Structure 1
């Protein structure tokens, strides 16, 4: 246990808290297809700043994507996923530039505010006709990239785009899974270029990839036709509550 604490640079209490967080977030990811990064960012931000969580989350997302990509490829709207990835590749450097230039506390507040705003928007079932157009597709991808670089919650932006097209739950889930897998391949090199993917982030990411994978496997078993109609509102409501609580704590401390 001591060597795990050493390579992650965490206390025993912080390590246990993060382990519980990533397992629960993995369950949600396996069930819904997204929200892993958003859930971790909303809760773990009280332990680590967003700039430290971003490289760690890359490895966790990749572990989840490798377990889910086969089903995602089969269910996804592939042209839409490819368009979103292209746009995201443009937005990622912008988001990282903002993250690395902002104070830690400001970055926390922005990251948590983004999560709350996007989750509430989707819960309210707000549909924007512009999103169903080609400019809307690539524009959404760019915004998702910026938000990913800033707070690693680009999948929430993508979910908002898919919501506008009234896609079935399984197709929405598949498109987001495919987007996250392809987008992760691009974001890795962007993070390297900006120096965000450091040794500390890699160490933490590899350590917490295992409990993340465990959670994803549990979540995958929960994704059945019986529960498909409920998965999105449940995950979004959870995000609003967790991110809202963390935002209040960040502002008050």
Structure 2
């Protein structure tokens, strides 16, 4: 049913466990880490529905109780404006050199994340126009290069808010955006038998990782949250950039 060899499934489960731990602590990056590490096992098209099921598993575990701490206005505005931007990104995919656009987006993300890590304040990100623009840009970049989640993570991390609020806002965004993108994925026929079987088999592994990550996120470690999340974002973008260049 899984259409995987036992060694491949064991490696995939290890990757999912590690990604779940990061998601439980940081509030994001599960799909990005799985996509980055599991491509030698499965092609991206087959990983997308698995990641959706894992993200929903993580969201259901994290959203209970945490939704009260989220900035709902920011998270839901980003989710809905991102959904609006996706069709535009898919349309541009047929008209732009996708790889060049992906490289440009990754380069800009790395520069902005480094500026935030250096505590350079970018006031324009805190405006309503910045919020709507970040959401639409996230959707467009998702349609073109599938890295829209990084744009949202960068925007939320730029806010002057406590780590628990930033983390909860990312969790709420991922939950809402996953629900909004379900129809897109189902419409393209991504949820076949093996994808559903793999997602169901790996969901308990992801849940275990998320619970470990949640346990690590304690008030005493909150001061390390933003630097960790920004370094994670830079690392993910940098790895993708290097892979594209090589």
The structural deviation recorded for 1:73 is: 1.0
- Using a 3 Å threshold, how does the CA distance of structure 1 residues 171 and 238 change in structure 2: closer, same or farther? closer
TM normalised by structure 2 equals 0.83
SS in 1 for 2:190: coil
Query: C-alpha deviations, 1:177-220, integer Å up to 9, x for none?
Result: 11111111111012122333444333322222111111000001
Partner of 2:37: 43
Structure 1 segments of 4+ aligned residues over 6 angstroms from their partners: 109-113
| Aligned partner (choices 113, 119, 144) of residue 122 of structure 1 | 113
What is the root-mean-square deviation of aligned Cα atoms in Å? 2.9
Distance 1:247 1:132, change over 3 A: closer
Match of 2:188 in 1: 194
Alignment-derived partner of residue 228 in structure 2 = 234
Question: d(CA) in 1 for partners of 2:172 and 2:245?
Answer: 35
State how far apart, in whole Å, the 1-side matches of 2:238 and 2:73 are.
34
- The TM-score with structure 1 as length reference comes to 0.81
Deviation string for 1:86-128 (max 9, x for gaps)? 10111234455677x79xxx77x97798667535532431654
Q: Which runs of structure 2 are paired with 1:67-216 in the superposition (5 Å)?
A: 67-95=61-89, 118=109, 121-125=112-116, 127-149=121-143, 153-216=147-210
User: Does the aligned pair in 1 maintain the 2:109–2:237 contact within 8 Å?
Assistant: no
Residues 242 and 87 of structure 1, relative CA distance in 2, 3 Å threshold: closer
Corresponding residue pairs, total: 241
Gaps of 5+ in 1: 1-6
- Contact 1:46-1:246 at 8 Å conserved across structures: no
Q: Contact between 1:38 and 1:152, CA under 8 Å: does it hold in 2?
A: no
Q: Do 1:116 and 1:240's aligned partners in 2 also have CA atoms closer than 8 Å?
A: no
What's the counterpart of residue 28 of structure 2? 34
The offset of 1:70, in angstroms, is: 1.8
Q: Which position in structure 2 is the counterpart of 1:4?
A: none
Q: Write the mapping of 1:5-44 to structure 2, written as runs, cut at 5 A.
A: 7-44=1-38
